[in-house]
Chains A and B, each alone.
Chain A
Amino acid sequence: MRQPGAYSNLLSGGKTGPHSLPLARIKKIMKKSGEDVKMISGEAPIVFSKACELFIEELTKRAWAMTLQRKTRTMHKEDVAAAVMETDIFDFLVGLVSHTPNPSAPLES
């Protein structure tokens, strides 16, 4: 198994310390979420670091269940999409995981 990316930490502009996700990057993503997000306390990215870990774990477990239904051992994007579709609290992700493969196709009534 390859080493965790040394590049990923450099690119994120900082060390992660005891948290497994880069706090500076989390903060950037938070700021992008809205114009009125201006001041963020030091602990908010720390909470997110753990929350995102829990989120990734939950999404992955559910996606893996979909993978097993396909009787294979490799998780694909479709498994993640299926997990999103069947979980209520992941409703906010529905638009993200389901895109029309051919947006120029004519709509039929």
Chain B
Amino acid sequence: MAIMSFIFVFFFFSSLQPILSLYEDQVGLMDWHQQYIGKVKQAVFHTHKTGRKRVVASTEQNIIATLDLRRGEIFWRHVLGPNDVVDGIDIALGKYVITLSSGGSILRAWNLPDGQMVWESSLHGPKHSKPLLLTRNLIIEKDNVLIVFSNGRLNAVSCIDGEVLWKKDFEEESLEVQQVIQPPGSGFIYVLGFAASSQFEMYKINAKNGELLKHESTAFSGRFTGEVSLVSSETVVALDSTGSILLTISFHNGKISSQQTPVSNLLEDSPGLAVIIHPSVTGIFAIKTDAATIFIRVIGEGKLEVVEKTNHETVVSDALSISEGQQAFALVQHAGSSIHLTVKPAHDWDSNLLKESIKMDQQRGFVHKVFINNYIRTDRSHGFRALIVMEDHSLLLLQQGAIVWSREDGLASIIDVTTSELPVEKAGVSVAKVELNLFEWLKGHVLKLKGTLMLATPEDIAAIQHMRLKSSEKSKMTRDHNGFRKLLIALTRAGKLFGLHTGDGRIVWSHLLQSLHKSESCRQPIVLNLYQWQVPHHHALDENPSVLVVGRCGPSSDALGVLSLVDSYTGKEFSSLSLVHSVAQVIPLPYTDSTEQRLHLLIDADKHAHLYPKTPEAIDSFQSEFSNVYWYSVDDDNGIIKGYALKTKCSSNVADEFCFDSRELWSIVLPSESEKIITTATRKLNEAVHTQAKLIADQDVMYKYISSNLLFVATVAPKASGEIGSVTPEESWLVVYLIDTVTGRVLHRMTHHGSQGPVQAVLSENWVVYHYFNLRAHRYEMSVIEIYDQSRADNKDVWKLVVGNHNLTSPVSSYSRAEVITKSQSYFFTHSLKAIAVTLTVKGITSKQLLIGTIGDQVLALDKRFLDPRRSVNPTQAEREEGIIPLTDSLPIIPQSYITHSLRVEGLQSIITVAAKLESTTLVFAHGLDLFFTHYAPSRTYDSLTEDFSYALLLITIVVLVAAIFVTWILSQRKELQDRWR
């Protein structure tokens, strides 16, 4: 009966068309949204007296943003495409932000106050070259002009409308232009560069019309490294390719004179290979060696003098002209837990305009960049503010010795995310920052009641809304009953680990991983991935959960690996390992030891498997499952998928009992001339599946083929692996495979002719949904494949099932070769996709919805029922009862089902779903440049009261009813008595 009632309820719910949209006042209750800009590459201040003070920044994530200088908030922000790299920004005319992007071929002007694009012009030229943007107050015939050198062409562009006033080509093949200089007040432009790496070239151009005035060149015996530093308006310094000779080149009045100074002359100890860092400060340049940064002053005719040599990490800002003819620049140096900010005038090294020491969080690492800006204090002296970019990509504004604001822009480049539970609430330990007292609680409920009874004034409504949004319940630091409060642990590209609270998105802790920091043993650390190492629940509750961060020293795949174990509650790194082998793959195994540490298998480049943690207990529990552990690797370059089993202990290593050799079991070689692997997808390890049976119309049953060893592979024709539309439909195809990774058996193969990638796929339970482009129909398509186990289908005898005489729950082996059938169907879909995920609930009972990251950076929920291969144009009555939707050629996009509602997750990269403890609810976290988090209930919250349920109203109703019962009882008693007396 319970089964029947469940089915009844299920039908009841599935027959409802769920309304999943939010009401306006529900925005922000369950969701939060954070905006970031990424690591700042270049920043320009705009601090005129009128209007709000702001800073314009371009970042490595190709964003142009203006930030409020007071608080660091974003005024406006534009995300240029991934191929539209910003080369330079500047402010022109005090009202336009000029950006040069795409290797110098696109010049745009944006309106500074609101970020609207004013004009755009594309600058093309004869050849590719380093793009240079120059904005000085150059005026040609009352027109402010930008000088842009890009693609081998010098352009003068009008600031007003982006019109190219004149252009001059530099077609010489080997010419590499390094600098474009316009001496202030002069009417000409110098274009400096190297030809054939050994010849210095100087062109003098008339700024009015682009006419070549003079061309000089001088040869140099060595070769140039490329970088030049401009030390005055007519002198540059360059370094030769060996890094040992400094060249001072001056081109006064068009005459080139050069002077060579060996670096060793300036420094007693030979510093090794040096690099010029150009602060572009008059008279001073800096070279950087491995050990030190050396500041060198140019005095007179090519004479060089070392002014300072610092062994610390030092960062120099560009020059800032503070008054007529006076320039200043900033130096930032580290000293222990604080940083020293020094602002010096360009002409006098020994004096300081400003010297401040600021306490800096160690977890931010070194300073990477500094930008300065000045302001006039009330006593007419100069004050300076500095914008610094730290190693963890965070952005800070320093002013008057303090940090005015900071932005955690490292969160714009999240590599991987996992979640962790919060600590259990212990009796007597208050963990909430603001515990509500009874009075406040009562007041809140009275307000809510007023709202329910429509008695609330507008102020009350505002107060209720504020109370709902700022509920301390959701941001407590303890586990809650519904499993909504968790820690999101995010690993960023900078190697910093963040713990974010799911309630309000605040950063609970953040740590720069020390083991993945640049060091002697690890020159070029790269963080790779994040895994759950220890998830204590049953018998190890006193242990803190922890995560595993995997990194490697160097970009190549055979570089040595680094493991770091981080406590999820505190973010402290409690253990780190420098491995003696490389890390090609990390395989979390479904086994844990007695302290709930998950066993992990690390595969190195030589295909040895290493077991972690390296404890005797781990090896004991692993030995018992040894013969059942397999692994596979997908070589997408060569189109080979190989499966391995573990063999004996490593033969090469000396007595390492945690190392195992691999034995190749099977391989699938795809023909390289016709197929290229572009996407793979597997099931999530932690996905719960409620049932293996799928009930279909007329009480029939199909058995799902549920295997965690299922791999989805999509291949396209090699020709068609480029952009959409680069091939004709005839020479383009998409082939999808479903492969069992234990035996290498191809369970299903299907070809979509005339289709092309990119393919986005998600595999869950027994189905896979993938998205691709159909060239014939000129539309995007989504397909679904469902896979069923036919060999179980004859389990139809009710009596056998009643008495439990069946083998449906006995363990299955991939070697038993289940007979499978697949069903598939395709539909048109309007959007192109950035990411796709599926909702995940704790027991897998709730119906699934697909979460689609659209090209518009929003997350759209699409019911899986729309992607059911059993849909037909005219479903029978029984099928309709089952919930099958009549077939349509395209999938509907219901505007209310955007779970990001009005927000956008700029640069959306991936969508992560985590099950809450409440079966109906999934936690959804979408990240890209922005972060977005919300709760989502695919079949509505059928297992809990809604958040706006008024407990007070219920309570009052009960009290009133009880009182009414008493009163009427007394009255009736009295009346009865009177009646009897009568």
Same complex origin of A and B = no
Using CB atoms and an 8 Å cutoff, list the residues of chain A in contact with chain B.
none
